Structure 1
């Protein structure tokens, strides 16, 4: 039986065959959002997969094709083109004072 990927925020770890995690393919949705090319505001409660979805987009843009084998986007994306990705994480920051 596949394990639920609770708390896993990286697409690479979920797709690792040694980990045996359950993954629901959302790459068709990701591709549709990318192709529409507009602005998006991801407003979901905590633990709803926002970080995992953004990491999935990062892996797509960086051209990591092998991670997507067996998923919708594998045969429909142009993997010969890659894009630079800048990632900011505010999760580890600690604000101690207003001056910080």
Structure 2
């Protein structure tokens, strides 16, 4: 099991935890919109660090982005396994072809 899979499993177990004792539980209790907002904030912070060029800070922000992405997905009932299955479905397909096959 990868670190990302372990993180997703931990997030899933925190869904029912006390929001006073778990940041993940607090985020999930705040609703999917708040989880999406937090993901967006973290993504912007990662973009800023990518532009600045500080590898260590970008690495830390990227980890935050992955965590908040998984929380946002969990808030909407989407699992990491579903996302990985979609990536596997797309594997070996040209990005241009894949985008062209999407419905408008």
TM > 0.5 fold call: no
TM-score for both structures, normalised by structure 1 = 0.33
The structure that is helix-richer by fraction is 2
